[in-house]
Amino acid sequence: MRRLNRKKTLNLMKELDAFPKVPESYVETSASGGTVSLIAFTTIAFLTIMEFMVYQDTWMKYEYEVDKDFTSKLRINIDITVAMRCQYVGADVLDLAETMVASADGLIYEPVVFDLSPQQKEWQRVLQLIQSRLQEEHSLQDVIFKSAFKSASTALPPREDNSLQSPDACRIHGHLYVNKVAGNFHITVGKAIPHPRGHAHLAALVSHDSYNFSHRIDHLSFGELIPGIINPLDGTEKIATDHNQMFQYFITVVPTKLHTYKISAETHQFSVTERERVINHAAGSHGVSGIFMKYDISSLMVTVTEEHMPFWQFLVRLCGIIGGIFSTTGILHGFGRFVAEVIFCRFRLGSHRSTSVPLPDGHTSNHLPLITDNSMH
């Protein structure tokens, strides 16, 4: 009884077989079929390798939403070198709410030499080259996002030579926490002093001939400090051509949440527009000499997420490649054989066409002559 049930089950499974087996004695092979098979297997192997490389790669997904966080503080990371002595310059922030943030709250004034060493010049040259490529190919920003925390810090390397030159510049570096409203970070002559109606800088004691706002921005970013991220102003260097010169940077800051397989951080991207002019009150160019960075906070927030192809999707695409190539090559091979057979059949028919035979009465016959016994002899 059990054997009978097993036999019925086995017969049922055979009837459900969607892959019937053909005996090898009924299978006809050909050189053309072998050539097409070799091409198909080579194409499958190549596309499989390419598909695996695509599966290993990731891409960045950008989503936009309204930023509803208005109460938290915004961190500004600063590393700027000005070609003036530290006792002559002062830096602070004044926002639209008339809130003043003094540099003493987080910035350090360090006397340095403005000219870079050979190693530092090479670092600046490479950084400026990367900045120019980023402006041309925006997709490189995705690569920078993926490599955050993986690459080395983008900060200016320390000076390797012991310069005997006395410090002629001031490096202002550190960070400040400001309100999330539009504001103005500026470096100008004299230290900042509090004022009932805002703020002022004590510049009366500084000689006009010592004004020199040539500067180098080694780093400027907003939000959490992430090594490996290159910001638009990193590596910027400006040389003043006049003592009374104003450098202005108009910055639009966009809050950004970054989620990759390496890190998860809340930072800020920004775009910048530059302008510089010489202060000449007689010519109508009014203002104060110095470096002014006017920033504004965007109301939109960007969420950047690194995504990866699911494994099931990789299998589906792989099956599609294998099945598609087999089906396509089979169709092309069958069509090629059909065309070849049609052409060869025409040649065969042309070689076996009937010949005309003259008759005694002057007529011709298009029929082949009958084979008789005499003709056989």
- Would you give per-residue pLDDT tens digits along the chain (377 residues)? 666 677 777 777 677 665 666 666 656 666 767 787 788 888 888 988 988 888 888 888 888 999 888 788 899 999 999 999 988 898 888 888 777 777 767 899 999 998 888 888 888 898 888 888 877 776 667 777 776 665 556 677 887 777 677 888 999 999 999 988 999 999 998 877 766 666 777 776 777 778 899 999 999 999 888 877 888 899 899 999 888 899 999 999 999 888 888 778 888 889 899 999 988 878 878 888 899 999 999 989 999 888 888 888 889 988 888 888 888 887 887 787 777 777 877 666 666 555 555 555 555 555 545 444 444 44
Count the residues in the chain. 377
Angle between helix 311-351 and 31-56 (nearest 10): 160
Q: Do 128 and 135 meet the contact criterion of CB atoms below 8 Å apart? A: no
Instruction: Give the whole-angstrom CA distance, residue 27 versus residue 18.
Output: 19
Using CB atoms within 10 A of its CB, is residue 132 exposed (0-12), middle (13-18) or buried (19+)?
exposed
Neighbours of 304 (CB within 10 A): 18
Q: Do 212 and 84 meet the contact criterion of CB atoms below 8 Å apart? A: yes
DSSP single-letter state for residue 207:
-
Provide φ and ψ at 150, rounded to 5°. Answer: -95, -35
Residue ranges of the alpha helices (H) in 57-162? Answer: 118-136, 140-146
Report if residue 264 sits inside a domain: yes
Instruction: Give the whole-angstrom CA distance, residue 205 versus residue 309.
Output: 64
Report if residue 336 sits inside a domain: no
Report if residue 110 sits inside a domain: yes
Instruction: Give the whole-angstrom CA distance, residue 199 versus residue 190.
Output: 12
Residue appearing with tokens 């059990």: 2
Instruction: Give the whole-angstrom CA distance, residue 95 versus residue 68.
Output: 19
pLDDT of the residue at 196:
64
Tally of structural domains, the chain: 1
Provide φ and ψ at 231, rounded to 5°. Answer: -95, 160
Report if residue 23 sits inside a domain: no
pLDDT of the residue at 348:
66
Range 51-57 contact pairs with CB under 8 angstroms and sequence separation of 24 or more: 51/314, 51/317, 51/318, 51/321, 52/314, 54/309, 55/309, 55/314
Report if residue 184 sits inside a domain: yes
Report if residue 58 sits inside a domain: no
What is the span of the domain harbouring residue 287?
A: 68-298
Cα-based distances in Å from 362 to 200, 211, 355, 357, 358 = 129, 123, 16, 10, 7
Report if residue 57 sits inside a domain: no
Instruction: Give the whole-angstrom CA distance, residue 62 versus residue 186.
Output: 33
